[in-house]
Every structure is written in C-alpha cells, then in structure tokens.
C-alpha cells in the first residue's frame, strides 16, 4: 500500500547519471555536484538528489558525489554487471539492428539467440547469433532460464510469440510490434511503439506552426519538453 519502490523515470535517469559519473571518473574528476549531473542528464539538481535518495549511499555537503564510488553504487543498484540473457524474435532489419546494438553490452544485456519463422532466415547468422525457428523457443528459454524476450515481429505474429515466451518462463517482454500482447499478471510488457514517438514530434511541430503568429507559448513548450 505505501509507496515502496523507485519510480521508473528515476530508474532511467540513474543510468544517465551513471554514464556521466563513470566518464568523469575516467577523466580524473573526483566529485560531481547534483548540478553537474542535472546538466548532463537534462534534469534539475533537486531531481538528482531525490533520485539519489533511493541509493544506499550519500554525497558530501559542499563537495558533491564521489564519481567512482557513485558509479559503482549505481552499477550495483541497477545490476549492470549481472549478465542478463535475452532472446529476440523477428530477425528483420530492426531485430538485427538490436541484436548488433553495442550499447546493450554496457548494461549487461546479452541477446543469445534469434528466432524467426521465415525459412529464408532460419539457419542464418546475425553476427555470432543463430536464427532458429520459433517452435524451438519455449524449451530453449526454459532450459537456459532466460527471463527477457524482445519482439520485433509484425503485429499479426506478436501474440503467438508472446505466448511462446510466456510458456518458456519469460517474465519481461520488450515489444516493438504495434499489437499489445495479452500476458499473465506477473509478466511485464514494455511497449515501444516507434510510430507513436513520431506522432509526438509531429504534433509538436504542428503546434509550433499554429502558434508562430500569435507568438511565444512558453507554457506549452515547457509542458512538451518536460516529458522525455
């Protein structure tokens, strides 16, 4: 009932702080203030301090946050060094791009196999990774105790894929299709609809166009800006 648990936006910001702390530490900078971090992460010093209040460590008044130590604290808190295995279904352009995306390594994610139902794709390799038929997914996922699944198929295949993932014991699904798969309550789905992001950008542009003559609608800009 009471609010245990860190808000999702804080979680994401912590990753941004982590990157900045680490790079500062590598440059030999020993401390960063909440103001420095806010600047790098596109937020406010108050927000940084609030976010840091979820961590099991404190900064130093008048000095700031020790870069190396806090990079480690966040690394720990977010579990960045834990090896997290995932499977990806849908070996199209987007699926392949994600399979080869270099940034995932830095957060400890490793995609271990791809799946697809296109006979043309099955048996191919994407980087080091094999492409297997979707049939093979549940047992492989179960055997390897994989908990994360990524869906980059078309909408019409997505529900069947999600079902297969759930059958194999996957608990967190990152869904790039436009369908919202139905899953049991204990499975988290994060829907990443790329088109809807563009709608947001295009809506902003239209609002600019409409409001250019009347001039300066700062309130509206602020409102749109803030929700990154």
Partner DNA sequence: TAGATTGTTAATCGATTAACAATC
Number of residues in contact with its own copies under rule CB under 8 A: 71
Residue of 35, 143, 203, 210 that binds its own copies (CB under 8 A): 203
Provide, rounded to whole angstroms, the least separation between the CB of residue 94 and DNA. 26
Residue 101 interacts with, from DNA, its own copies, none (CB under 5-8 Å by kind): its own copies
Region from 7-15, 24-32, 116-124, 133-141 binding its own copies, contact rule CB under 8 A: 7-15
- DSSP H or E stretch at residue 189: strand 188-191
Provide, rounded to whole angstroms, the least separation between the CB of residue 100 and its own copies. 5
**How many Å apart are CA 215 and CA 100, to the nearest integer?**
45
Report strand pairing: 172-175 vs 188-191.
Answer: parallel
Region from 43-51, 102-110, 120-128, 163-171 binding DNA, contact rule CB under 7 A: 43-51
Provide, rounded to whole angstroms, the least separation between the CB of residue 68 and its own copies. 20
Interface with its own copies includes 169 (CB under 8 A)?
no
* Residue 60 DSSP class: B
Residues 56-85 that bind DNA (CB under 7 A): 58-65
**How many Å apart are CA 165 and CA 87, to the nearest integer?**
9
Q: Is 94 annotated as a binding residue?
A: yes
Residue of 55, 78, 157, 160 that binds its own copies (CB under 8 A): 78
| Among candidate residues 41, 39, 30, 13, the one with its CA nearest the CA of residue 65 | 30
Interface with DNA includes 196 (CB under 7 A)?
no
**How many Å apart are CA 22 and CA 39, to the nearest integer?**
15
Interface with its own copies includes 172 (CB under 8 A)?
yes
Compute CA distances 224 → 12, 121, 200, 218, 219, whole Å. 19, 42, 9, 10, 9
Residue of 14, 18, 43, 71 that binds DNA (CB under 7 A): 43
Give yes or no for a contact between 134 and 156, defined as CB atoms under 8 angstroms apart.
no
Interface with DNA includes 18 (CB under 7 A)?
no
Interface with DNA includes 33 (CB under 7 A)?
yes
The radius of gyration of the chain from alpha carbons, rounded to an integer in Å, stands at 21
Region from 25-33, 54-62, 113-121, 171-179 binding its own copies, contact rule CB under 8 A: 171-179
Region from 63-71, 94-102, 134-142, 159-167 binding its own copies, contact rule CB under 8 A: 94-102
- DSSP H or E stretch at residue 35: helix 34-41
How buried is 97 (Cβ within 10 angstroms: 0-12 exposed, 13-18 middle, 19+ buried)? exposed
- Please give the annotated binding residues for NAD(+), written as ranges: 90-95
């Amino acid at each position: 009932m009471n609010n245990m648990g860190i808000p999702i936006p804080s979680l994401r910001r912590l990753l941004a702080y982590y990157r900045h702390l680490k790079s500062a530490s590598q440059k030999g900078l020993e401390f960063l203030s909440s103001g420095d971090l806010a600047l790098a992460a596109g937020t406010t010093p108050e927000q940084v301090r609030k976010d840091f209040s979820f961590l099991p460590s404190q900064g130093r008044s008048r000095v700031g946050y020790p870069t190396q130590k806090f990079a480690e604290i966040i690394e720990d808190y977010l579990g960045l060094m834990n090896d997290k295995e995932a499977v990806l279904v849908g070996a199209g352009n987007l699926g392949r791009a994600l399979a080869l995306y270099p940034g995932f390594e830095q957060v400890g994610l490793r995609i271990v196999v791809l799946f697809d139902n296109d006979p043309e794709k099955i048996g191919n390799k994407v980087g080091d990774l094999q492409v297997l038929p979707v049939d093979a997914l549940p047992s492989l996922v179960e055997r390897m105790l994989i908990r994360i699944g990524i869906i980059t198929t078309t909408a019409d295949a997505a529900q069947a894929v999600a079902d297969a993932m759930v059958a194999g014991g996957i608990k967190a699904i990152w869904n790039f299709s436009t369908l919202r798969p139905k899953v049991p309550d204990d499975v988290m789905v994060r829907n990443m609809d790329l088109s809807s992001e563009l709608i947001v950008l295009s809506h902003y542009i239209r609002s600019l166009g409409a409001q250019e003559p009347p001039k300066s609608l700062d309130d509206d800009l602020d409102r749109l800006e803030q929700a990154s």
